[in-house]
Chains A and B, each alone.
Chain A
Amino acid sequence: MAITEVERRRGQLAALSIAAVVIIVGVPLWWRTTETYRAWLPVSQIKDLAKLQLHLSADVEVVFARGTVTPEQQKKVPLTQTQDEEHTVDGDLLMQFMILRSQNMKPYRTATIMEEDALKKPTAAEADLSLHMLSESPCGSLVVYVIPESSSLLPEDVNVYIGQRRTALVRISAQMRVGKTLEQLLAQLEPQIKQVLQVMSFSHTDITVALSDRVRFRPGNKESIADSMRAFKSSPGYEITFSLLNPDPKSHQLHWDIEGAVQTYIQPLLTKLSPLANFSMDSQTLYYTMLGVTPRFDSSFEAYTLNADSLAHVINPVEARLGSNAASSNPVLNFLLYVPDIRHSPLYIHDHRKQEVPSNAFHSPRWGGIMVYNVNGFYGSETEFPVHVNINMAKVMGVFLAQLRLLLGVQSLSPPPGFLVAPCGSTGLADWELDRLMWSRSVENIATATTTITSLAQLLDQIGNIVINDNIAQQVSSAVTSLQLAMAELEVGNLGFALQYSKEAILASEKAFFDPSLLHLLYFPDDQKFAIYIPLFLPMCVPILLSMLKIVSEARQRRREKQAKKE
């Protein structure tokens, strides 16, 4: 039967409408249902943060005691002075250290009567204590007292004394004062104050070490690199475990008042460090645990010795038995107290020069410390075993506290010549040491959070089919906000707030980066995608395409016929 016009028209209309439905309705529907949900991320802000221009400012107040400036000079003391130092780290980071800008706009002033009285005390330590009673500096700031050379507070060869809190005493020499104008005096004082700042707050090397994540270190200052490898990285919490190792319970019955010792000696330090991280402590006693190395008897010392080279193999066999808290992923610091068994007592640790180490202890970077405690002196040879021994916790905790300081990053650097540093107080940490730690931790946190956020943004950009949920976008936004606030606070000099914001930034960025949902879709190579879609769409598309072609060819034929008819 011949195809009537109506039927042909109907066929064309059907083909066209099917094609229209497929294109207008089907394709967008397929696109929407197969696309991944990606919440909006503040990408431009993240790019700005990636440049990481840090401004660090420390407030320094310089107080002139009587006898350092003449009365006429006193009147002309300038009100404000700022000093900027620009440092580049690895070429692309630019940091400015702004110093000597005080909160109350009066960095230079003369001493008050009460301060003069305090400075008249016999020793520097007492002067430091009474100065501290008068006023307490907020964290991140320093006060430098300039004392005349006639003052007897400091010994002969020492020009600068760094106290336990946030004060320093600087003695000017006679030739600095005589005949000089105020500007010259201030200019001469400046390098000394800068040096004080580098010791008490931050220096270029400290900041470089704190940024070692972003900056691949080049062998420069070896000591500071060793410091960076030794100390634990910044973490929101740490766990400290004290273990008593008793390999010979048949001979020694050991008692240690660990709870009291921890409360008295360790807890004050940890309370002081609480702005930095949370600490949790536990303790245990392990029996029949030997060291992995057999000590050798040295007849010249009448004792067993462990030399420094064999210490590296001591830790591994012990570590398997130590155990750890299964619930948290915080880094663990282990402090072990080893009491040698009766056949290997006394046991001493010797260094390379075959000298006895006075503390009889060693520590391993990012792990903890081990101390050997000899008890053979507490009993004679005729006593009945097991012997009851009370361990002297003050001595033990003194060593553990020193090791704890090193492992947490309180650097014991050698001061420049002419400097005298006061010993840290009974808490084990001087205020300015805490400030140093807070500066470097803030910078480290900010750098790490920035790197995390930038790499997360890059990752999500590169891999197109990872789902970005709303909660991840929210974490990223809050991390970006906290970072901006932290950098602003650092610029102003509010160290406490800066540290707090940097901690929040790190928590949010780590939560966003390590969210379990970011692994949802696996990688689909292109040929696999074709293999999935072709059997679904090809059978449908072939009739539509062919009918489209038929319509087009028929239309062309009609046009040719029309043209032929015209001619």
Chain B
Amino acid sequence: MLCYTSLDILDIQWIWQFFSSGHTNNWAVLVCTSRFWFNYRHVANTLSVYRSVKRLGIPDSHIVLMLADDMACNHRNPKPATVFSHKNMELNVYGDDVEVDYRGYEVTVENFLRVLTGRLPPSTPRSKRLLSDDRSNILIYLTGHGGNGFLKFQDSEEISNVELADAFEQMWQKRRYNELLFIIDTCQGASMYERFYSPNIMALASSQVGEDSLSHQPDLAIGVHLMDRYTFYMLEFLEDIHPASKTNMNDLFKVCPKSQCVSTPGHRTDLFLRDPGSVLITDFFGSVRKVELTMDAINLTDPIKQMEEDPVNGEEQKEVYSYADQLPVSEIIHQKPKQKDWHPPDGFILGLWTLILLVFFKTYGIKHLKHIF
């Protein structure tokens, strides 16, 4: 039976909830791009944002966590299986149920861009994908070492601000986000959001172009700096937020003023459609679901069909599963080397020309030099 209820004021307010933000689910992509023990603070930064985001309700299935190095199980960690974010080891952000999706050498520029644009090989499991749709609000947090217009990944490659802006534009073309909040905590972080041109992006950075982001405090027992200043004060700010709080983005912009941070945090809101004062923190950091009451039910009168057991007979085709051979030794021994693209060896061209010139002068004598020069 379908019944139609008339709408009154309270129901209309219910519907207005939908339009305040326009999103139905939340995703978070948290990336730490640097490795080595002395970059402990970058891993701690990312894990503290992960912790806040999980506490405010985003489930692990909606978080893509990329950590370039393992600090908790590092040989130099005096307190194994912990990553601390406060001095005197007050807060262990590693916790009991951390789910790292991309770890160690899997954190590369290519993988990061593939996650953002969705161009992953078909064998990628669900937990490593960003399965957002046009009603998803995504939080992207990057931390590591950066410079004017680039961010360093793994000490061997970099991502430029143009590539990042292009990746966001591809996400927008395919409507992979409703609104995007981009937070970056590196030196000269503001340069990374200069080139954005897609709509509905809000960006925050820990320092302007030409400034360095500084770290917060070293811990004498662990021996390294534990966190960066901007993320430390942001974590303090987020600890006061609970899933039902109404704090808005303007308060987040005020986090870590120059007196505390030494660098000047910046933000960019010109691409964002809504007024930042009306955007709740929980729109990006939490996952507050919209809920509707189910008013109708269908009247079902048929009795349940009894499931009949199929008679087992010898002719039944049963799929026989077997464990895949993990190390196909015979294939490895007998396989031909893989065809790789041929590149000339380094310096080959220079060496070739040197050889040609040497032969020329040997044959015709040095006096012919003036024909050339």
Measured CB to CB, the residues of A under 8 A from B are 1, 3, 7-8, 11, 14-15, 213, 219, 222-223, 225-226, 229-230, 233, 257, 259-261, 263-265, 308, 311-316, 319-320, 324-329, 331, 349, 351-353, 357-359, 361-367, 369, 371, 393-395, 397-399, 401-403, 405-406, 412, 414, 421, 423-424, 426, 428, 451-452, 455, 458-459, 463, 513-516, 518-519, 522-523, 525, 535-536, 539-540, 543, 546-547, 550
Contact = CB atoms under 8 A, between A and B. Distances in A.
B160 A525 contact: yes
A543 B1 contact: no
B24 to A, nearest CB: 5
Contacts of B307: 259-260, 263
B294 A369 contact: yes
Given A324-B61, A463-B166, 15 more contacts: A213-B175, A264-B302, A264-B304, A265-B300, A313-B57, A326-B125, A351-B293, A352-B14, A361-B294, A426-B302, A455-B174, A513-B174, A514-B118, A515-B119, A519-B113
Interface stretch (B130-138, B179-187, B201-209): B130-138
B368 interface: yes
Contacts of B166: 463, 523
Contacts of B303: 264
Given A459-B173, A540-B353, A402 B373 contact: no
Interface string B159-202: 01011001000100111000000000000000000000000000
Contact of A213 (B118, B134, B302): B134
5 contacts: A263-B307, A316-B58, A316-B59, A399-B298, A402-B298
B290 A312 contact: yes
A180 to B, nearest CB: 34
B117 interface: yes
Given A229-B22, A514-B119, A313 B244 contact: yes
B297 A312 contact: no
B301 A394 contact: yes
Contacts of B96: none
B340 interface: no
Closest 4 CB pairs of A and B: A11-B371, A455-B173, A316-B57, A352-B10
A339 B292 CA distance: 20
Contacts of B350: 535-536, 539
Contact of B304 (A213, A233, A261): A261
A423 B295 contact: no
Given A316-B57, A316-B289, A516 B121 contact: yes
Nearest to B159: A522
A402 B113 CA distance: 40
Nearest to B121: A516
A364 B353 contact: no
B175 A308 contact: no
A516 B114 CA distance: 8
B114 A519 contact: yes
B243 interface: yes
A352 B175 CA distance: 35
A404 B131 CA distance: 21
B194 to A, nearest CB: 14
Contacts of A519: 110, 113-114, 117, 119
Nearest to B110: A519
A424 B296 CA distance: 12
B373 A398 contact: no
B25 interface: yes
Interface string B28-41: 00000000000000
Contact of B19 (A222, A265, A525, A535): A222
Contacts of B312: none
A260 B291 CA distance: 29
B2 A401 contact: no
Given A259-B307, A352-B10, A359 B24 contact: no
Nearest to A540: B353
B109 interface: yes
Contacts of B134: 213, 233
Contacts of B300: 265, 394, 397-398, 401, 426
A499 to B, nearest CB: 21
Which of A3, A329, A428, A525 has the most chain B CB atoms inside 10 A of its CB? A329
A546 B372 contact: yes
Contacts of B349: 536
B302 to A, nearest CB: 6
B114 A366 contact: no
Contact of B299 (A213, A260, A261, A398): A398
B127 interface: yes
A364 B19 contact: no
A172 to B, nearest CB: 26
A1 B371 CA distance: 14
B235 interface: no
B60 interface: yes
Contacts of B302: 264-265, 394, 426
A398 B163 CA distance: 51
Contacts of B301: 394, 426
Contacts of B243: 313, 316
A459 B170 contact: yes
A225 B301 CA distance: 34
B15 A226 contact: yes
Contacts of B4: 412, 414
Contacts of A539: 350, 353
Contacts of A7: 368, 371
Contacts of A405: 298
Contacts of A458: 173
B264 interface: no
Nearest to A454: B173
B126 interface: yes
A312 B119 contact: no
B2 A423 contact: yes
Contacts of B126: 324-329
B120 interface: yes
Contacts of B156: none
A365 B19 contact: no
Given A233-B134, A316-B287, A423-B2, A226 B304 contact: no
A367 B25 contact: yes
A482 to B, nearest CB: 19
Contacts of B109: 522
B18 interface: yes
Given A229-B135, A326-B127, A357 B292 contact: no
Contacts of B162: 523, 525
A365 B292 CA distance: 8
B291 A320 contact: no
Contact of A364 (B1, B14, B289): B289
Contact of A357 (B58, B127, B295, B372): B295
Contacts of B58: 316
B259 interface: no
A312 B289 contact: yes
Nearest to B62: A319
Interface string B301-339: 111111100000000000000000000000000000000
A277 to B, nearest CB: 15
B24 A367 contact: yes
Contact of B25 (A14, A327, A366, A540): A366
B297 A398 contact: yes
A225 B19 CA distance: 9
A371 B289 CA distance: 16
Contacts of B61: 319-320, 324
Contacts of A351: 10, 293
A319 B288 CA distance: 12
Contacts of A265: 300, 302
Nearest to B173: A455
B291 A421 contact: no
Interface in B256-305: 287-305
